[in-house]
Structure 1
Amino acid sequence: MPALETPLHFLTGAELDAAALASLLDRAAALKAAPLSSRVLDGRAVALLFQKPSTRTRTSFETGVFELGGHPMVLRGEELQITRGESVRDTALVLSRHVAAIGLRTGSEEELEELAAHATVPVVNMLSPLHHPCQAIADLETLREAYGELEGRVLAYVGDGNNVARSLAVLGGLAGMEVRVAAPAGYQLEDGWGAVLTDDPAEAVAGADAVYTDVWVSMSDDESSAAARRAALAPYRIDDALLDRAAPGAFALHCLPAHPGEEITEAVLYGDRQRIWDQAENRRHAQKALLELLVSAAAERG
């Protein structure tokens, strides 16, 4: 792919076009089949900034950078001078002199955008309040493993219309999928992201190829509202009865961490009607393909 067609940063997923996304997913599959076949980061480091806790994002990025031949430089928020007043701009300028790319997991959309505005190396959104695009590319890779082509497939998301739902709408739409989001009033995804919106989970999953959910109370939510959130979202739980309304062979997806008995039943989470653990693994392969794409294009730009 010519360098000019490749974005410098990956913040929402909308930086890609349909062809670039398809190529990325092809490469993710190839890297899954041959994990050590690319050495694009040989002798280089990637800064991974975590301002929020992480299990899957941290382990998949650390392992992925290592498999690409690089050094994952994990930096927690309290370890940086930002906590003592250094600007995000200065942090971006300094890190750009040392690393091939920067990943950021943050509770501030503004900090993510400022980091990208001043960094001269690729910046990857590892999770922000509005978007989780690295999760979405892994989800699409998981769906491709199951179905092959994604064009025309239907993905139903039930529950809180959060950053995961938003990223699925953006990237699922790019892949030619119909993304439906079912959520109650007050928890619905906004118009404008390309998803089909409803408050009826049965309507959303009717004929769907996969049914997706996320936690009802995330780390960014106020615990004082937890009881109200659980009450409002209870009708959106993924159980066998809801899956029965989907297409034959449909399966459950969940970005994890899960709370069995809340947004998904234990029987579905650990049963044979899910590909959740494939999703968790595919974070590594999809992110490796993304880093390879961005870092290679940045090197061509010079």
Structure 2
Amino acid sequence: MLAALCGAALAAGAQVRRSSRNVQPLTRRPDTGASGVQSDNTGLGVAVPKKEPAAETVTRVAYLGPRTGWGIVKSASPYYAPDGKRLGTLPGGTLFTYNNVKPSSRNDVLVCLLRRGAKPEGPFLLDCTDIAGYEGDPATVDAELVAQLQRYFTLNGRLAERRAALEEAAYAKNPHFETARDAQHAYQASIEKAADMEREMNGLTGARKSKALDALRAFKYEQAALKTQADRAAAAYKAWKDAHPLDPAALAADSRLQALRAEREEARKPVAHLIPDAP
């Protein structure tokens, strides 16, 4: 088990052990199904066409921490139903426990129960790259320590949100911004619709299943056209963006961003040894 002993003071002599994860590329056959968990923290929500990976390979992250434990969402993160359907976004600082780790079409996902109220919520799926994982049970850990970790990651999420808002305001000057954003949203919506259609089809039999399969195939042609439009719009957006780069100094001068960064740094001090290093 790859976990580093962090030596924190805990209730009843318990220990917090920070979970490690493998960030080395793993090679496997790509998942060609319509369903699957996707992590899409892309800031503006505008995807730029990427260079195709080598045939028959994908790059993904495997979680090598324990199969059960607890954790905190590091920054805004999508979360999913067990069947892979996206349910929304969780803010940084969200506490959860998990009881299993599963592979997905992108990275390993943790099967989680959210701890946001009196009763656990779930199960849900979270991408392993979006969380800070720890061994054991948060109920056995000093409550103040858990609260300090939550405060740090809450501020981390707010800082990321503020930075994204500033960047979006600057990128909105791009004449291709709205076209690229809308085209990307339409394509992403088509991915979710295709996944829903496939799940529904898999629950049918006989003639009804054949009819649903025909409908899914027809929709795939529409989806391909949406992807082409999204790729073209994103390429135009990126070309303008590359020709008009953001001024980092202007972003850094934002008073709210500076205040959040200072708050996060203060919150980091008592739990620095429990915060995972950036990959």
Instruction: Identify whether the pair has TM-score above 0.5, normalized to the shorter chain.
Output: no
Larger Rg: 2
Q: TM-score, normalised by structure 1?
A: 0.24
Q: TM-score, normalised by structure 2?
A: 0.25
